[in-house]
């Protein structure tokens, strides 16, 4: 009796393994950022897609290491990812290295709801060969209302002013955005930041400005951390992805306020790896998830702006709370007065050097 | 074990020979039997564990990208003397490589590799590739017109240097050094040095953590060892429970305990020891790493110490006291020396485990509590400079094996016990 | 430990300081575990005690995170995966490790030191290095992002524990027992199962438990080589801490701690049983 029990357990477990493997044929693996962001894609794209086609969508939260994963899979000649959500800069690199499929935009994507061709409908210049943007998102500063009783910080310069606005700051543990903001706080006009940063003196200047707040910085490296740090009172001002702050403000009722000045906006979207195991379904998913309506639907879940112009008029209210989404969009004209566009090309060229310097600076 | 056969006068020479042969045959058979028992695991470990590490060793010197994806340029540069700009033939080879590489979408890989060595190389190569339609003979003139960088002899030297199949460049970078355009190797600017600093920090913080575990673990082990077995076993659960609780859970609970608005600070404020505005920063820095890792590794010290202390007869201490030794002398001269094997076994275990830590420093270490493991992970997944990650990994491995070797020579591995 | 009758006042003071110090260390060891349990009933999605929790307001507590755990496919899948992977890797490490320990305990084995060093190397080599190497090597074999890859990796990490515990048991083992068995006409196999096995069983089981916990708690290798379908509990926790901070992981932790307590009790009972067999107590 005991023996048969053991045996049947082993068989049951064994068949679970086999079942897991067999399942793959009717499903696609979509790699994204996890958390509220993956949830928004699930609501707007994946669940409707499964309902329509019967193909299951498996979520993998590895976009943070998306490029590394695609390289490893290409090197091994053994792909397991079908669709990958990735930043524009990484998508450019992946495309240059031949890791991802080229997209024939007007063929592979649907026309806009207003009949416009994809090449005219998406954000200008974003359809660069392999990349299909879905959202415009911003990295920006937010503060906890409880931290400041009098004046509240309004500009990037205020964020770097520890005397006027005491307390710790949370910054992302990468050079990107921080160096730009340091120069902005040091008085460089927003449209000249990359010209200054392209010189050795400019880099020194940025690090010198960061030095002034270094001792008061808590460094984060996952998008979920800054709202947590703000809520716990660990820091008074944090840089964060605007969607995460929105989620904390509206869904969790946290007393946070966004500083829209100097928001660093960039694009994020899909690529299809060269060795995706279910390429046909992946292309199908790509088409399905980038229609005017699908992109507008995603904005019901999270406050990222749709990358298609034709989606903008269709933005409505938040699905759980009924809040109007428009005032929360980084692309809303009221919020878009003094943004900084992240220069993906600059970072592709100088990212290695600046990261080395940044890591060394951190370790000092 | 050596076996010797003593010849006895009673046996005939052929008898002796037969007996000897029998013995050695049986010895050989036993040897083979023992080897066969060990063989499956040895093979298994070699395939699943040693081979991957060997593969990494290989990666730290392997340098295929420029050679494979800019083959004609690499070949043409072999005869270049590096004194002045290359001639037209070499520019033509480069033009071919860029045009073909763009079509095959492989030139980006070579460009990325070049960029590790010198910032800006990527945009030089990729920018040229994007304007491939403008490339025409004479190539030298045309390429320099497209991108000024092709007129800079330093860029050519970098390409030539990275065209060889093997490279020491990852190790050079891992030692905080760089190769100058003239080919000399020297330390990088003080403010850009990082890896040696982090190695050093990893070592001394691991030593600190090891010392902390000895300090906290020794009295507790002594208490446990001197208690009746049944009581000791119950108290042992307090040691084993954290040991068997997920590392991630313990680390996140330290976040809840140590943060500025966390339990410990709340307690200190409530007790009036510190003011509400002057909460102590105990996490996201070196303190957080040391506290959390001491907690996580403490059982690894207590368990071997306890098992050694159990074997020290308490009568020795009593004998020392009855002979007139002070308690301190009795402890220092009699008890402590007998527990040294336990201390050293625990210390080596804790030290080696902590030196390779990655998860805990990543979660609670902030900037001053990072270990070298964090940078290895960063180069694996963030910067994607796998060669550098491999070189750092090999250096860490050599360090650990060196420490282990010294330990093994002095103490011997077989003294490591797990409760 | 009782205080000796001949102790002077200074020694008495030392004795109490020592006791207090030990109690403090025990609190240090156990406090983080105890903190987890109430926090897992937090009604807010953060890792800190709210004002309501401190004033014992029932509204500040909820079973929200337990519910989320039990209704989440990801968490349930991760448990299934962890069980499958731990099950197979434990069996493999126990079998391979026990065989090797039997070989290592024989005095005839050549190159013993080298072999021992090789076999316990997975315990010595920093995990980040092993994980990086496996990521490259298993990818090139096409077994990264598969159950097979993760099971093999966890088996390699678990075997040193089995080798060490079984070798330790065998070092106390009276080899004349085997000779006695043989002289009484038993076959080697029969002797192994009837004499050797019962005596080393404690070592095998405790080694296997260590191997199982290693696999159950391992996150670094899993981060590098597990695919979406092999997501284990620690991996799900890792993403729970970083990508979507949610006290669900505290609820899971509380459940796992309960599980650990049960396991520990099992080990304690086993130890008492084996001591009885060996006639120690």
Residue B269 has pLDDT above 50, yes or no: yes
Regarding whether B97 and B19 lie in a shared domain, the answer is: no
Residue position matching structure tokens 């112009």: A309
Residue B261 gets which letter from DSSP?
A: T
Q: What is the pLDDT of residue C243?
A: 63
Q: What is the pLDDT of residue B209?
A: 97
Q: What is the pLDDT of residue A17?
A: 43
- Domain-embedded: residue C3: no
| Mean pLDDT, chain B, integer | 87
Beta carbons of B116 and A345 less than 8 Å apart: no
Regarding whether C17 and C92 lie in a shared domain, the answer is: no
Q: What is the pLDDT of residue A5?
A: 40
Residue C158, min C-alpha distance to chain A (Å): 20
Chain C residues with CB inside 8 Å of B358's CB?
127-128, 220
- The fraction of chain A above a pLDDT of 70, given in percent, is 93
Can you read off the two tokens belonging to residue A256?
A: 């946070």
- Domain-embedded: residue C254: no
Regarding whether C184 and C152 lie in a shared domain, the answer is: yes
- Domain-embedded: residue C100: yes
Chain B residues with CB inside 8 Å of C153's CB?
48
Report yes or no: B203 and B355 within 8 Å, Cβ to Cβ: yes
Residue C259, min C-alpha distance to chain B (Å): 9
Beta carbons of C242 and A252 less than 8 Å apart: no
Residue B150 gets which letter from DSSP?
A: G
Beta carbons of B358 and C119 less than 8 Å apart: no
Q: How far apart are CA C195 and CA A336, in angstroms?
A: 80
Chain B contact for C203 (CB, 8 A cutoff): no
What CATH number has the domain bearing residue C178?
Answer: 1.10.3720.10
Q: What is the pLDDT of residue B180?
A: 81
Q: How far apart are CA C207 and CA C211, in angstroms?
A: 6
Q: What is the pLDDT of residue B201?
A: 93
Q: What is the mean pLDDT of residues B171-191?
A: 86
Residue position matching structure tokens 């983080």: C32
Q: What is the pLDDT of residue B93?
A: 93
Chain B contact for C119 (CB, 8 A cutoff): yes
Chain A residues with CB inside 8 Å of C48's CB?
232
Residue C29 has pLDDT above 90, yes or no: yes
pLDDT tens digits along C122-155: 988 888 889 888 988 888 888 888 899 999 999 9
pLDDT tens digits along A316-358: 999 888 899 999 999 888 999 999 999 888 888 788 888 888 9
Chain B contact for A96 (CB, 8 A cutoff): yes
Beta carbons of A361 and B191 less than 8 Å apart: yes
Regarding whether C135 and C34 lie in a shared domain, the answer is: no
Q: What is the mean pLDDT of residues C265-278?
A: 73
Residue B406 has pLDDT above 70, yes or no: yes
Residue in B126, B259, B381 nearest the CB of A234: B259
Q: What is the pLDDT of residue B419?
A: 43
Chain C contact for A18 (CB, 8 A cutoff): no
Domain extent at residue C105 = 73-246
- The fraction of chain A above a pLDDT of 90, given in percent, is 59
Can you read off the two tokens belonging to residue B87?
A: 């001639």
Using CB atoms within 10 Å of the CB of residue C186, give its burial: 0 to 12 exposed, 13 to 18 middle, 19+ buried: middle
Report yes or no: B298 and B346 within 8 Å, Cβ to Cβ: no
- Domain-embedded: residue C37: yes
Q: Is the CATH code 3.40.190.10 the one for domain A28-136+267-328?
A: yes
Q: How far apart are CA C245 and CA A228, in angstroms?
A: 8
Chain B residues with CB inside 8 Å of A345's CB?
123
Q: How far apart are CA B394 and CA B391, in angstroms?
A: 5
Residue B13 has pLDDT above 60, yes or no: yes
Domain extent at residue B102 = 65-166
Regarding whether B210 and B256 lie in a shared domain, the answer is: yes
Residue A92, min C-alpha distance to chain C (Å): 24
- Domain-embedded: residue B175: no
- Domain-embedded: residue B85: yes
Q: Considering only CA atoms, which of B177, B367, B281 is closest in space to residue A361?
A: B367
Beta carbons of C47 and B255 less than 8 Å apart: yes
Can you read off the two tokens belonging to residue B299?
A: 């059982």
Chain B residues with CB inside 8 Å of C28's CB?
216, 295, 298
Q: What is the pLDDT of residue A260?
A: 95
- Domain-embedded: residue B188: no
Regarding whether B277 and B137 lie in a shared domain, the answer is: no
Q: Where are the domains of chain A?
A: 28-136+267-328, 137-266+337-363
Q: What is the pLDDT of residue B413?
A: 55
Q: What is the dihedral of CA B140, B142, B145, B151, to 10 degrees?
A: -10
Residue A182 has pLDDT above 50, yes or no: yes
- The reply to whether domains A28-136+267-328 and A137-266+337-363 share a CATH topology is yes
Regarding whether B213 and B147 lie in a shared domain, the answer is: no
Number of domains into which chain C is organized: 2
Regarding whether C134 and C98 lie in a shared domain, the answer is: yes
Beta carbons of C32 and B242 less than 8 Å apart: yes
- Domain-embedded: residue C27: yes
Number of domains into which chain B is organized: 3
Beta carbons of B261 and A64 less than 8 Å apart: no
- Confidence at B8, pLDDT banded by 50, 70, 90: low
Regarding whether C174 and C44 lie in a shared domain, the answer is: no
Residue A3 has pLDDT above 90, yes or no: no
The number of C-beta contacts closer than 8 angstroms across A and B is 87
pLDDT tens digits along B201-244: 999 999 999 999 999 999 999 999 888 888 888 888 888 888 87
Regarding whether B100 and B23 lie in a shared domain, the answer is: no
- Confidence at C2, pLDDT banded by 50, 70, 90: low
Regarding whether C94 and C154 lie in a shared domain, the answer is: yes
Residue A290, min C-alpha distance to chain B (Å): 26
Q: What is the pLDDT of residue B49?
A: 94
- Domain-embedded: residue B114: yes
Regarding whether B120 and B23 lie in a shared domain, the answer is: no
Regarding whether C214 and C105 lie in a shared domain, the answer is: yes
Chain A contact for B164 (CB, 8 A cutoff): no
Regarding whether B162 and B94 lie in a shared domain, the answer is: yes
pLDDT tens digits along B82-99: 888 999 999 999 999 999
Q: What is the mean pLDDT of residues A55-71?
A: 86
- Confidence at A153, pLDDT banded by 50, 70, 90: very high
Question: How does A346-357 read in b/e, with b if 16+ C-beta sit within 10 Å?
Answer: bbbbbbbbbbbb
- The fraction of chain B above a pLDDT of 70, given in percent, is 96
The β-bridge partners of A217 are A169
- Domain-embedded: residue C263: no
The β-bridge partners of A87 are A268
Chain B contact for C192 (CB, 8 A cutoff): no
Q: List chains touching A (3+ CB pairs under 8 A).
A: B, C
Q: What stretch of H or E contains C217?
A: helix C197-217
- The fraction of chain B above a pLDDT of 90, given in percent, is 32
Q: What is the mean pLDDT of residues C158-167?
A: 89
Q: Considering only CA atoms, which of B369, B36, B346, B392 is closest in space to residue B214?
A: B346
Q: What is the pLDDT of residue A1?
A: 38
Where is the domain boundary, B166, B187, B213? B166
Regarding whether B336 and B254 lie in a shared domain, the answer is: yes
Chain A residues with CB inside 8 Å of C39's CB?
none
Regarding whether B408 and B363 lie in a shared domain, the answer is: yes
Residue B105 gets which letter from DSSP?
A: T
- CATH H-level superfamily of A137-266+337-363: Periplasmic binding protein-like II (3.40.190.10)
Regarding whether C123 and C159 lie in a shared domain, the answer is: yes
- Give the highest mean pLDDT range of B125-139, C82-96, C204-218: C82-96
Residue position matching structure tokens 């050797």: C196
Regarding whether C194 and C107 lie in a shared domain, the answer is: yes
- Domain-embedded: residue B285: yes
């Amino acid at each position: 009796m005991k023996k048969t029990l053991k045996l049947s357990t082993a068989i049951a477990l064994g068949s679970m393994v086999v079942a897991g493997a067999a399942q793959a044929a009717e499903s696609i693996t979509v790699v994204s950022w996890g958390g509220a962001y993956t949830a928004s894609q699930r609501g707007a794209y994946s669940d409707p897609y499964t309902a329509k086609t019967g193909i299951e969508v498996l979520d993998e939260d590895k976009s943070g290491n998306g490029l590394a994963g695609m390289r490893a899979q290409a090197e091994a000649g053994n792909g397991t990812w079908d669709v990958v959500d990735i930043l524009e800069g990484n998508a450019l690199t992946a495309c240059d290295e031949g890791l991802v499929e080229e997209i024939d935009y007007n063929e592979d994507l649907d026309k806009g709801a207003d009949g416009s061709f994809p090449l005219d409908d998406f954000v200008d210049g974003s359809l660069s060969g392999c990349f299909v943007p879905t959202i415009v998102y911003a990295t920006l500063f937010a503060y906890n209302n409880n931290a400041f009783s009098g004046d509240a910080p309004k500009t990037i310069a205020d964020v770097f002013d520890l005397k006027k606005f005491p307390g710790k700051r949370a910054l992302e543990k990468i050079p990107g955005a921080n160096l730009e903001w340091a120069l902005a706080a040091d008085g460089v006009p927003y449209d000249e930041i990359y010209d200054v940063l392209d010189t050795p003196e400019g880099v020194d200047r940025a690090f010198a400005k960061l030095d002034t707040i270094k001792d008061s910085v808590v460094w984060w490296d996952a998008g979920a951390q800054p709202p947590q740090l703000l809520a716990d009172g660990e820091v008074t001002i944090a840089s964060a992805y605007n969607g995460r702050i929105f989620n904390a403000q509206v869904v969790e009722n946290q007393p946070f306020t966004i500083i829209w000045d100097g928001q660093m906006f960039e694009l994020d979207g899909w690529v299809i790896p060269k060795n995706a195991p279910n390429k046909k379904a992946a292309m199908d998913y790509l088409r399905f998830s980038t229609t005017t309506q699908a992109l507008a639907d995603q904005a019901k879940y999270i406050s990222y702006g749709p990358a298609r112009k034709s989606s903008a008029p269709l933005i409505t209210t938040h699905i759980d709370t009924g809040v109007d989404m428009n005032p929360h969009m980084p692309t809303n004209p009221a919020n878009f007065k003094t943004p900084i566009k992240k220069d993906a090309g600059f970072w592709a060229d100088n990212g290695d050097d600046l990261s080395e310097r940044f890591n060394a600076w951190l370790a000092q | 074990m050596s076996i010797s056969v003593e010849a006895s006068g009673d046996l005939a020479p052929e008898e002796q020979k037969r007996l000897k042969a029998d013995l050695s045959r049986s010895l050989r058979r036993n040897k083979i039997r023992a080897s066969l028992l060990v063989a499956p695991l040895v093979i298994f470990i070699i395939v699943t564990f040693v081979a991957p590490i060997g593969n990494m060793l290989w990666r730290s010197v392997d340098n295929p990208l420029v050679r494979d994806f800019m083959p004609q340029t690499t070949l043409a540069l072999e005869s270049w003397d590096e004194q002045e700009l290359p001639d037209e033939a070499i520019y033509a080879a480069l033009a071919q490589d860029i045009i073909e590489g763009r079509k095959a979408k492989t030139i980006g890989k070579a460009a990325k590799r070049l960029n590790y060595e010198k910032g800006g190389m990527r945009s030089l190569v990729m920018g040229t590739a994007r304007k491939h339609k403008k490339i025409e003979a004479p190539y030298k003139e045309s390429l320099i017109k497209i991108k000024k960088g092709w007129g800079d002899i330093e860029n050519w030297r970098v390409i030539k240097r990275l065209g060889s199949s093997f490279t020491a460049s990852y190790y050079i970078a891992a030692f905080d050094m760089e190769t100058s355009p003239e080919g000399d190797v020297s330390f990088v600017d003080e403010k850009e040095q990082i890896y040696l600093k982090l190695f050093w920090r990893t070592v001394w913080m691991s030593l600190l953590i090891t010392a902390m575990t000895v300090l906290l673990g020794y009295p507790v082990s002594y208490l446990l060892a001197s208690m009746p077995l049944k009581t000791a076993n119950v108290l042992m659960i307090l040691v084993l429970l954290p040991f068997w609780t997920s590392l991630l859970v313990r680390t996140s609970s330290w976040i809840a305990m140590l943060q500025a608005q966390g339990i410990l600070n709340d307690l200190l404020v409530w007790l009036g020891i510190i003011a509400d505005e002057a909460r102590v920063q105990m996490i996201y820095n070196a303190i957080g790493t040391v506290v959390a890792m001491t907690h996580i590794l403490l059982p690894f010290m207590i368990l071997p110490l306890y098992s050694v202390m159990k074997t020290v007869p308490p009568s020795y201490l009593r004998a020392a006291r009855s002979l007139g030794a002070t308690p301190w002398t009795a402890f220092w001269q009699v008890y402590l020396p007998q527990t040294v094997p336990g201390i050293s076994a625990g210390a080596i275990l804790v030290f080696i485990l902590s030196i390779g830590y990655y998860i805990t420093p990543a979660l609670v270490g902030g900037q001053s509590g990072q270990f070298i493991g964090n940078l290895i992970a960063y180069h694996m997944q963030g910067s994607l400079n796998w060669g550098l990650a491999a070189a750092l990994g090999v250096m860490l491995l050599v360090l650990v094996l060196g420490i282990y070797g010294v330990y093994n020579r002095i103490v011997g591995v077989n003294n490591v016990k797990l409760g | 430990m009782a205080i000796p009758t001949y102790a002077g006042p200074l020694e008495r003071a030392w004795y109490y300081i020592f006791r207090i110090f030990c109690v403090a260390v025990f609190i240090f060891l156990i406090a983080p575990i105890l903190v987890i349990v109430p926090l897992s009933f937090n009604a807010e999605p953060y890792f800190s005690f709210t004002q309501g929790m401190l004033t014992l307001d029932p509204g500040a507590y909820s079973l929200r995170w337990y519910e989320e755990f039990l209704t989440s496919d990801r968490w349930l899948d991760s448990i299934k995966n962890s069980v499958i992977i731990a099950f197979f890797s434990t069996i493999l490490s126990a079998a391979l490790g026990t065989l090797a320990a039997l070989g290592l305990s024989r005095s005839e084995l050549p190159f013993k030191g080298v072999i021992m060093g090789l076999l316990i190397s997975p315990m010595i080599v920093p995990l980040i290095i092993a994980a990086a190497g496996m990521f490259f090597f298993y990818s090139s074999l096409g077994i990264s992002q598969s159950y097979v890859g993760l099971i093999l990796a966890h088996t390699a990490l678990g075997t040193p524990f089995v080798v060490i515990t079984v070798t330790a048991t065998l070092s106390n083992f009276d080899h004349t027992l085997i000779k006695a068995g043989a002289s009484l006409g038993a076959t080697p196999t029969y002797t192994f199962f009837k004499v050797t096995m019962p005596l080393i069983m404690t070592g095998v089981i405790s080694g296997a438990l260590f191997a199982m916990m290693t696999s159950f708690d391992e996150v670094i290798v899993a981060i590098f080589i597990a695919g979406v379908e092999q997501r284990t509990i620690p991996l799900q926790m890792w993403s729970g801490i970083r990508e979507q901070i949610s006290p669900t992981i505290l609820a899971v932790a509380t459940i796992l701690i309960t599980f650990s307590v049960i396991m520990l009790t099992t080990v304690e009972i086993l130890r008492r049983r084996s001591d009885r067999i060996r006639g120690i107590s």
